[in-house]
Structure 1
């Protein structure tokens, strides 16, 4: 990937038309560099999930462009976009989305099979070992805890070695201790493997594991924090929720730098 792993240029996404139209993203420009971990936060209805969907090629913006690893998504046909998502993008959601009839190793191997590739058992076992489930390969989802299921989902997302991993509230369905274990795994893929991660979350503790946090309000970027502790992130969110009508900050004002503190991951 290029240094600018993911780039959004003047991305706007509107739903509906005329007087009933809703603008979910309003002229958003952002860069998510390769090998970094970015959290996206904002009040309910701020456009977080729409941003993720447009950046991941799951939705097309009304205007503007999205580029992943030098490839502009908005210029691709649906077929080429599907192939790009399959080969270069991974997803982890709040819902684990595991097939109940398949074992952990079969669930992990599924993306390779869908891509017409024959998965090697050693490769699948290595992916499970990476998330601490090497001894659970033959267990079905009902035989695994919620945290273990999410780790299987993470192994499934990483098995194709994607350029970028998108997470939509990946710890939202987990208790705090299990959630921190999953966050530590995500953080490890960035530090150890140079993985690029963009994660939507409402949790300041989860966001504190990221290199930076980008804030959205009413579909527009309202600043970012780098290396911030959970308390600083929570305080910034409180200010945004108290004044959702505030004008977006300038680029210089947006980069609110805090001294890094120890994160839970």
Structure 2
């Protein structure tokens, strides 16, 4: 792998993504600071999920460069890209993506097993305790609530201390209380463990937990905030963006 001087946790340089005649991302420049919580928002079809997938190495950009933890993705083979994702990237999805046949502790240990390492039982137990599930270690996903399953997914994503944690609508399938628990844990990961978190969300309340909010429209960055911004202000910006996008499409 070619290593560059580390200036950001994730960097996108003129990144584009085409799907046939559709431009999902249009020459996006974006730098994600280390040890910060960044939220990505935008109207439906704005390219926010495509941006996350390209930034995380789940999808290949058709133009430009993506760099994760100092490593350019463009020249990597599929094998090396898979290895980088396994070692340096954590994922949390709306649908949890836990293995039904495995217990909570086995799901948390899975990234270490896939990397060919013997799981550290103490580390796994500590992660489950941190997400408030020390007493659910032996339970399978079917025996856990949705919120508990998502907390297991967060523990699994963080157990290897990845360079970046990507979360795609992590509260989308949860009730209000469970959503708040998940957002608190993501915020705690940043503040206590200097974890870098990048989250796609449609929820202004969720985005208000971030240090920075990036707004996309038509595959481009249309607006952004820096520092603490409340949910009401984020909602106003989203409404304006949706109205502007709707007018441009007429």
Give the Cα separation in 2 of the matches to 1:28 and 1:176. 33
Which residue does the alignment assign to 2:15?
A: 11
Give the Cα separation in 1 of the matches to 2:68 and 2:141. 32
- Which structure has the higher relative contact order (CA within 8 Å, separation 6+)? 2
Which residue does the alignment assign to 1:195?
A: 195
Q: Is the 8 A contact 1:2 1:34 kept in 2?
A: no
Give the Cα separation in 2 of the matches to 1:245 and 1:221. 16
Runs of at least 4 residues off by over 6 Å: none
State TM-score, norm by structure 2: 0.95
Give the Cα separation in 1 of the matches to 2:82 and 2:191. 28
Q: Is the 8 A contact 1:93 1:169 kept in 2?
A: yes
1:2 deviates by: 3.1
Q: How does 1:169-184 map to 2 (within 5 A)?
A: 169-184=169-184
- Alignment partner of 1:148 is 2:148: yes
Q: Is the 8 A contact 1:189 1:195 kept in 2?
A: yes
Which residue does the alignment assign to 2:243?
A: 242
Q: Is the 8 A contact 1:2 1:70 kept in 2?
A: yes
Which residue does the alignment assign to 1:93?
A: 93
Q: Is the 8 A contact 2:12 2:66 kept in 1?
A: yes
1:139 deviates by: 0.8
User: Secondary structure at the residue paired with 1:66?
Assistant: strand
Which residue does the alignment assign to 2:25?
A: 25
Give the Cα separation in 2 of the matches to 1:64 and 1:245. 28
- C-alpha RMSD over aligned residues: 1.3
Give the Cα separation in 2 of the matches to 1:114 and 1:148. 23
Give the Cα separation in 1 of the matches to 2:247 and 2:65. 26
- Alignment partner of 1:204 is 2:208: no
Q: Is the 8 A contact 2:37 2:197 kept in 1?
A: yes
Which residue does the alignment assign to 1:129?
A: 129
- Unpaired runs of 5+ residues, structure 1, are 248-265
1:100 deviates by: 1.3
Give the Cα separation in 2 of the matches to 1:39 and 1:246. 25
- Unpaired runs of 5+ residues, structure 2, are none
State TM-score, norm by structure 1: 0.90
Which residue does the alignment assign to 2:115?
A: 115
1:3 deviates by: 4.1
